[in-house]
Amino acid sequence: MADTGIFATTAEVQRKAGANASATSNTEAYINDYMTQAESEINAACRFNWSDVYSTLDVDVKGILKQAASNLAAIYVISYDMSGFISRIEVEDMINILRDGYLRCLKTLKEIKVQDFINNE
């Protein structure tokens, strides 16, 4: 099986999910599913289909999309089964850090689209 996500790879999500993530959910099949969901959510939240124009974007915007999608997908991996983690505090910290990064990226992506509209691009 190969990566099917557009914005980020399985390996990028696995690194963020951490060493104690579930062996079931931290696999390519599950992560491909999570990536599809994350990419769709990002597109819907921004009211813009980044997936359709991905190849035309500059490296900075691609990096923000990569960070947002991999953060959200890693949250899904972690949330699937938290029993492998040392403590609930560890899980909460990881999810909070990933969520904060995801929300920061989403805000930036929305601002990029507003700026494009203002500049009539």
Question: Who contacts 65 (Cβ-Cβ below 8 Å, separation ≥6)?
Answer: 7, 8, 42, 50, 54, 57, 105, 109
- In this prediction, residue 118 carries a pLDDT of 45
- In this prediction, residue 80 carries a pLDDT of 95
Average pLDDT of the residues in 74-100: 95
- In this prediction, residue 3 carries a pLDDT of 82
Please say if the pLDDT value at position 56 is more than 60.
yes
**Confidence band for 4, pLDDT divided at 50, 70 and 90:** confident
Average pLDDT of the residues in 67-96: 95
Angstrom distances, CA of residue 18 to CA of 9, 26, 51, 88, 116 = 15, 9, 27, 14, 36
| Domain ranges (residues) in the chain | 10-118
- In this prediction, residue 49 carries a pLDDT of 94
**Confidence band for 114, pLDDT divided at 50, 70 and 90:** low
Please say if the pLDDT value at position 115 is more than 90.
no
